[in-house]
Amino acid sequence: MTSVKAVIRIDRFISNATALSRSQVQRVIRAGRVRIDGVQIKKASTPVSLDAEVYLDESMVAPPMPRYFMLNKPIGVVSASHDPSHRTVLDLIDVPRRDALHIAGRLDIDTSGLVLVTDDGQWSHRITAPSKRCRKCYRVALAEPLGDQQATRLDAGLLLRGESKPTRPAVIERLSESELRLTVTEGRYHQVKRMFAALGNHVVALHRESIGELHLDHSLEPGAYRPLLPQEIALF
């Protein structure tokens, strides 16, 4: 079996692994002070494998460690890196090099619950790529009680407005007349709200409880986050 080594640009490698600013990194590279596996480089875009030996002058630069967080997104916060008028999920995370982080699976502004944040693109791809069919479980409150026929249609798959491919079967667990747990294996735009709209119902509250086998830590207040444990990272 062949193994694929992660490769990134040398400027990103150094700025993720040191306290140097982006412009300082560009300068040291242009000045010829960086060597990859013994070879001097001068271009910031030079690709480097994460297991290469990188030297800045006479000091070895340790490879950057990827970071992984779970966050309990409050209502009113947007799943974006920057937003002109709202607080973003990344605004809530107070760590160095926050700009390098991204969200693995967005939630709407009025949805709360589990959001995963990382700077490891391959890891987040395993969560978000449609082909991976990663399970997402939501707690849903509806405007109208859920009828048996509606539940059957969720299980069979239904056509969302403007789309030609039916949804994949969704699993429901009834919690009360108009509250349920819904598990889906897709992440289409506004998927859950559009599924219930297609049934003539309306979602009044939506909260993500889990992604795959990873559950939101109940000790996290809305807006709080924590690093993932090694065994949680290994789930994806």
Active site residues: 108
Of 108, 186, 209, 217, the one binding ligand URA by CB under 6 A: 108
- Residues 29-55 as b or e (16 or more Cβ within 10 Å = b): beeeebbbeeeebeebeeebeeebebe
Least separation, in Å, of the C-beta of 203 and ligand URA? 7
Q: How would you classify the pairing of strands 203-211 and 111-118?
A: parallel
Q: Does 111 bind ligand URA (CB under 6 A)?
A: yes
State which residue, 107 or 127, has the beta carbon closest to ligand URA.
107
> What is the DSSP code (8-state) at residue 235?
T
Count Cα neighbours of 130 within 13 Å in the Cβ-side half-sphere.
5
State which residue, 153 or 193, has the beta carbon closest to ligand URA.
193
Quick one: which segment of 44-52, 65-73, 107-115, 216-224 binds ligand URA (CB under 6 A)? 107-115
Q: Does 192 bind ligand URA (CB under 6 A)?
A: yes
Least separation, in Å, of the C-beta of 117 and ligand URA? 16
Least separation, in Å, of the C-beta of 87 and ligand URA? 16
Give 171's strand partners.
183
Least separation, in Å, of the C-beta of 112 and ligand URA? 9
Could you give the CA distance from residue 100 to residue 219 in angstroms, rounded to a whole number?
26
Backbone angles phi, psi at 12, to 5 degrees: -70, -40
Confirm if 81 and 102 have CB atoms less than 8 A apart: yes
Quick one: which segment of 22-30, 47-55, 166-174, 184-192 binds ligand URA (CB under 6 A)? 184-192
DSSP SS3 for 153: helix
State which residue, 28 or 179, has the beta carbon closest to ligand URA.
179
Give the footprint of ligand URA on this chain (CB under 6 A).
107-108, 111, 190-193, 206
